[in-house]
Amino acid sequence: MSELRWDPLKLNWVIIATERGRRPRDFYVDEEKKSMTACPFCYGNEDKTPPEIFAIRPDGQPNTANWRVRVIPNKYPALRVEGEPSSRGYGMYDVMNGIGAHEVIIETPDHDRSMADLTEHEICDVLKTYRARYLDLHKDFRLRYMVIFKNHGLRAGATLHHSHSQLIAVPLLPPVATTELRVARNYFDTKERCIFCDIVNFELNEGIRVVREFSNYVTLAPYASSSPFELRLFPKHHSHDFALLNDAQLSELATAMKDMLLRVKTVLRDASYNYILHTAPPPHRRPGKPGYWSSLEYDYHWHIELVPRLTQMAGFEWGTGFHINPTSPEDAASFLRDAEV
Ligand SMILES: [Zn+2]
Ligand SMILES: [Zn+2]
Ligand SMILES: [Zn+2]
């Protein structure tokens, strides 16, 4: 069982998950060994993964080939579904048992196609899978937050080459989410407007950081990008919860996603990247906290954040939390806008 441990100095939770690596040699780089083992995400290897949770498959039995998108529990989960969340003190520290969910979304049966190479229809299937998993996990009252993310390429932390994303659900709100949610709520409290809507409208007017605009979505380089070619994709009209999108909305989002990923792939020569879907936490009532995120519908606005992994966190970044970004977001937007895709 993994544990969530609280760092009282950094004010952050850390997940200690020892299933993957515990000895020094587990961290030695062994590229040869990695590329030689058969890929568990390819057709015909369905029995090499834990039994699937969800799949888009035109016909046939679960855990057989012929699927288009497949969701399985992570073989080495950071958190596990079984049990009740409980927290306790340990001396001056706090510790929680590692309840949650850790799923892998295999986006395509093709070993060598990355997400940018998929058709809009195929990307839409991936987005529908994201929605289905959110809606299902929303029913679990122990889970307070879910995040879907993708690691593409070695520098982004992808350990398997076959294109996939991951979903992690946690029993508490992570600090990154808490900050964003609080900022949005405070802004709404004083201005009665959504901060994300204000940013989107301002950037659409300015234009210099806009990479591509669609009828209902916009991709832009954030004003204070912390790393080169960072991007955010927003719905242009207020929308707090990704899980509430209908098929038509997901279909246009697939077009916008494909465009964003292709631009990154073309301009940055298939650089490693991470993207993260930020959406409203499940609106569960909490005993003793009647106001718990009750205004999300008005003040929060889902979005996708994409960070190409072109630079590394070095001493100054670790030591101060300040990032030094060598490419201005205005230049990044212009390179990406001009790319032929
Ligand atoms: Zn494969
Ligand atoms: Zn909004
Ligand atoms: Zn965000």
Q: Where does the chain show beta strands of DSSP type E? A: 3-7, 12-16, 54-56, 69-73, 87-90, 93-97, 101-106, 145-152, 164-170, 210-213, 217-220, 231-235, 273-278, 303-308
Residues whose beta carbons lie less than 5 angstroms from ion ligand 3: 278
Cα separation, 325 vs 334, in Å, equals 16
313 pLDDT band, cuts 50/70/90, is confident
Q: Which two tokens stand for residue 135?
A: 């809606």
Q: What are the CA-CA distances from residue 235 to residues 159, 167, 249, 275 (Å)?
A: 31, 21, 9, 16
CB neighbour class for 179 (10 Å; exposed up to 12, middle 13-18, buried from 19): exposed
For residue 239, what is the DSSP state? -
**pLDDT above 90: residue 19:** no
Looking at the CA of 49, which ligand is closest? 1
Is the model's pLDDT at 209 over the cut of 60? yes
Residue 36: band (very low, low, confident or very high) from pLDDT cuts 50, 70, 90: low
Sign of the dihedral through C-alpha 296, 299, 304, 308: negative
Please say if the pLDDT value at position 31 is more than 80: no
Predicted confidence at residue 27, as pLDDT, reads 74
For residue 244, is pLDDT > 80?
yes
Q: Which region among 9-23, 72-86, 111-125, 138-152 has the lowest average model confidence (pLDDT)?
A: 9-23
Helix (H) or strand (E) holding 155: none
Bridge partner list, 89: 94
**Worst-scoring range by mean pLDDT, 113-127, 256-270, 287-301, 308-322?**
287-301
Catalytic residue flag (residue 111): no
Between the CA of 180 and the centroid of ligand 2 the distance, in Å, is 13
Q: Is the confidence at residue 290, as pLDDT, over 80?
A: no
pLDDT at 37 over 80: no
Rounded CA separation 243/127 (Å): 10
The pTM of this model reads 0.94
CA pair distance 161, 34, nearest whole angstrom: 10
Identify which ligand lies nearest to the alpha carbon of 45. 1
Q: How high is the pLDDT of residue 213? A: 98
> Catalytic: which of 102, 152, 164, 303?
164
Alpha carbon of 245 to ligand 2 centroid (Å): 15
pLDDT the model gives residue 201? 98
219-223, 266-270, 318-322: which range is least confident on average?
318-322
